[in-house]
Amino acid sequence: MTEAYATIVFLFVLFTLLGSSIWIGLALMGVAYVGMELFTTRPAGDAMITTIWTSSSSWTLTALPLFIWMGEILYRTRLSQDMFRGLAPWMRFLPGGLLHTNIAGCTIFAAVSGSSAATLTTVGKMSIPELRKRGYPEYMIVGTLAGAATLGLMIPPSLTLIVYGVSINESIIKLFMAGIIPGLVLAALFMSYIVGWHFLQPGQRPPPEPSISLREMLAESRFLIPVLCLVFAVIGSMYFGWATATEAAAVGVLGALTLAAFQRSLSASTFFESLMGATRTSAMIALILMGAAFLSLSMGFTGLPRALAAYIDSINLSPIALIAALTIFYIILGMFLDGISSVVLTMAIVEPMIRTAGIDPIWFGIFIVVVVEMAQVTPPIGFNLFVLQGMTRHEIGYISKVALPMVGLMLLMVVLLVAFPGLATWLPDNLR
């Protein structure tokens, strides 16, 4: 009865605070404070101060603002234009043509950004006008871009994986390595959707692109070299053991600054804007993590996570059944909260459940990212939907409808992860 009463109180206070438009981080702290006052004898203020300081002073967390800053620098350079220019000659011969630049561009930029919104904005501002000019259907342009931009959450350096790793105290590098193969598989699923459209809707194909020589294709490809070098510097340094996640983030920032300087797009105003953008985003995520840490402590005192984990163990729910239930749960939760908030809000309860069920926490991190990706393109709070609305002037309902096939492919990715868990665990298990 105590756990049931605590659950009702926690949920009531949480939804009351969220419904009053209080920042999510402050809402989590408010719920935790009420729980500490009602269910424990420990001074709530002292506990809050100690927990917030401990969670915010984690060395692992220093990678977060650095990766965000790297993405902000690249977002303000000519990288997207160069990337489209380098990719287009190689995509034109594939079934579906230049629509594949949405997928390939988002995949490459995701490897240097870590943010779905930054990936969407950077690739979209270049690909949307170019694809429109060439006569591609609007629903394919918008739908494929909405889905492909979510790869920014999966392919390292992923901000969501950093937050997840910090929340459950798992290796960030292992989580990054675990995201590479599933990210590429998901990108291949998105590209297969474009290929299917090409053959099933021949009447909607635009006029074929003019042919160019191999020499011209290679000449245009030189524009991809800077970003590919940066990807290798960031991901390769972690894979080969040359750098930790934080050191790789610092290398990425230096590489992004160097890239911007060579492009002559690094002015004093660009530098200041990127720094302030990274500061705002980092502060927002840090506040959410502080609130989540305090909420985890508060719920720990009530015994709620342990009781729930014991209940799951007592009903002998299979791991697959648990994953199916959590998929539905996170899809519903993602309709009302952004991805990072969904992760930190639920980890205190979900982590004991998955460990009790014998689910690999590294694998579960990739599963979490896939279902959180769906939240980016599902109404009413799908963040990518709002970004695309500002870029295309379409209604949210229209963007949601054209992005629905991509959500279906993400659900298929969940099935593939369950059927072939090695997609997420093979690379980190064999990492030396």
pLDDT in tens, 60-69: 677 778 877 8
Handedness of CA 299, 300, 303, 304 (dihedral sign): positive
**DSSP type of residue 98:** G
pLDDT tens digits for range 103-132: 888 888 787 776 777 777 778 777 888 888
Confidence (pLDDT) at 184: 92
* Over residues 404-428, mean pLDDT: 91
Which helix H or strand E contains 364, and what residues bound it?
helix 361-376
Distance CA 112, CA 160 (A): 14
CA distances from 191 to 111, 157, 221, 234 (A): 18, 22, 20, 25
Q: Where is mean pLDDT largest: 70-84, 99-113, 158-172, 190-204?
A: 190-204
Confidence (pLDDT) at 221: 77
Distance CA 38, CA 261 (A): 56
pLDDT tens digits for range 237-246: 877 778 877 8
pTM of the model: 0.78
Helix locations, 138-267, DSSP H: 138-148, 159-168, 172-200, 214-221, 225-231, 237-239, 245-262
pLDDT tens digits for range 131-180: 888 888 989 988 898 888 888 778 888 878 888 888 888 888 889 889 99
pLDDT band for position 413 (cuts 50, 70, 90):
very high
What is the 3-state secondary structure of 32-49? HHHHHHHHCCCCHHHHHH
Residue 416 CA, chain-centre distance (Å), reads 19
Structure tokens at 295: 């909420």
Q: Which residue has the tokens 């984990």?
A: 309
Confidence (pLDDT) at 367: 93
180-196 in b/e form (b: 16+ CB < 10 A) is: bbbbebbbebbbebbee
Distance CA 88, CA 112 (A): 20
* Cβ neighbourhood burial of 400 (10 Å; 0-12, 13-18, 19+): buried
Confidence (pLDDT) at 193: 93
pLDDT tens digits for range 336-382: 666 777 787 778 778 888 888 888 999 999 998 898 888 778 776 66
* Over residues 253-279, mean pLDDT: 83
Better-predicted residue by pLDDT, 58 or 51: 51
Confidence (pLDDT) at 4: 66
How large a percentage of the chain has pLDDT more than 90? Answer: 10
Question: Is residue 377 classed as helix, strand or coil in its secondary structure?
Answer: coil
Better-predicted residue by pLDDT, 138 or 286: 138
* Cβ neighbourhood burial of 139 (10 Å; 0-12, 13-18, 19+): middle
* Structural domain boundaries in the chain: 1-201+211-430
CA distances from 398 to 150, 215, 243, 382 (A): 18, 41, 44, 13
User: Residue 305: what residue type?
Assistant: P
In angstroms, the first-to-last Cα distance of the chain is: 48
Virtual torsion, Cα 235, 237, 243, 245, nearest 10 deg: 0
Handedness of CA 32, 33, 36, 42 (dihedral sign): positive
Confidence (pLDDT) at 40: 74
Distance CA 242, CA 431 (A): 13
* Over residues 301-307, mean pLDDT: 67
